[in-house]
Structure formats: C-alpha cells, structure tokens
Amino acid sequence: MNTFEIGEKGKGRKLLINLDRGEKLLESIMEALNKADMKNAVCLSCIGSLQKAYYNRAQGLNDDMILDHQYIEGGLEMVSMQGVVIDGMPHFHFSFSDLKGVYMGHVEEGCEILYLAEILFEELDGVNLTKVKNEKGIAHFTQK
Ligand SMILES: [Zn+2]
C-alpha cells in the first residue's frame, strides 16, 4: 500500500491510496485513514480490480434488517465505490463485474485486490457526529 496526502488538514485535505495485489480493500483503507488521522471523510473515487469480493444486500421489507451475505471469487473489475467514514466508522457500497454480470452491495471485510486499486478520500472538516445503533441494530448518524 502506498498513500499520498494532498493538501493541508482543515483545508479539504485529500488522501490518495494505492493498493497492490493481495491487499484487503476495507482493512487497508481503514489502516490508511487511521495513519493519516482522518476520522471523517468521503470517498471521491475508487476503481481497480478484485479477486475476492465479500458483500451484503438488504433483503425484504421486514422491520428487522435481513442481510443476504454474498461472496464472489475471480477476475472482478471494480467499477466504483462510494460512501463515508464518520467518527472512524466506514460505510461503503461498491459495484463490480465479471464476464457474467454486474454485482453491487455493502462492502464487507475480506475483499482482496487483484491488480490494483486507486482510491481517493477527502477529509470532512468540522464534523461532530458519530453513529449509534437503534433498537433494530441499524446505525444512524447522531450529534456527539
Ligand atoms: Zn450498507
């Protein structure tokens, strides 16, 4: 993993992350953000390729959230990923494809880079929020 800080803290600082084959997507992002002391950030861009993808999708309309956990292995082109990190807690959704189709969902730990990933974050300044789970276990933004 290589990381490059662009700009200054408090002035829209960016973090460019370059991941290599075999590195973990979510785990490496969090390591890079922690190292840069960037607790609140938005993912501006994320492209690359994956060899393992772990993700989930909401299923049904029940009050209690039911997640459909998925795992796909193979040559996967990562088309995009978006989401935010608030108070050090990430929430990303991504889309990727192989020759059979396009897949998308909530990014879980364990996703592994095939050739590379290029990811750009912008720090969100002045954020005083955290995430708290409600009675259904769903985390929502809350003022600190
Ligand atoms: Zn999600």
Measured CA to CA, the distance from residue 142 to residue 133 in angstroms comes to 10
Nearest 5°: CA angle at 18, between 28 and 39?
50
Q: Is 106's pLDDT higher than 90?
A: yes
Q: CB of 33 within 8 A of CB of 66?
A: no
Within a 13 Å sphere around the CA of 53, how many CA atoms are in the beta-carbon half?
A: 28
Measured CA to CA, the distance from residue 20 to residue 12 in angstroms comes to 26
How far apart are the CA of 106 and the centre of ligand 1, in A? Answer: 4
How far apart are the CA of 45 and the centre of ligand 1, in A? Answer: 17
How far apart are the CA of 97 and the centre of ligand 1, in A? Answer: 19
Measured CA to CA, the distance from residue 110 to residue 32 in angstroms comes to 16
Confidence band, pLDDT 50/70/90 cuts, at residue 26: very high
Segment 33-71, tens digit of pLDDT? 999 999 999 999 999 999 999 999 999 898 888 899 999
How far apart are the CA of 47 and the centre of ligand 1, in A? Answer: 18
Q: What is the pLDDT of residue 105?
A: 97
How far apart are the CA of 57 and the centre of ligand 1, in A? Answer: 8
How far apart are the CA of 92 and the centre of ligand 1, in A? Answer: 6
Q: What is the pLDDT of residue 64?
A: 84
Q: What is the pLDDT of residue 65?
A: 85
How far apart are the CA of 8 and the centre of ligand 1, in A? Answer: 30
Tokens standing for 100? Answer: 């059979």
Q: Is 61 left (phi over 0), alpha (psi -120 to 50) or beta?
A: alpha
Q: What is the pLDDT of residue 118?
A: 98
How far apart are the CA of 67 and the centre of ligand 1, in A? Answer: 10
How far apart are the CA of 122 and the centre of ligand 1, in A? Answer: 20
How far apart are the CA of 36 and the centre of ligand 1, in A? Answer: 24
How far apart are the CA of 107 and the centre of ligand 1, in A? Answer: 7
Full DSSP string of 26-90: HHHHHHHHHHTT--SEEEEEEEEEEEEEEEEEEESS-SS-EEEEEEEEEEEEEEEEEEEEETTEE
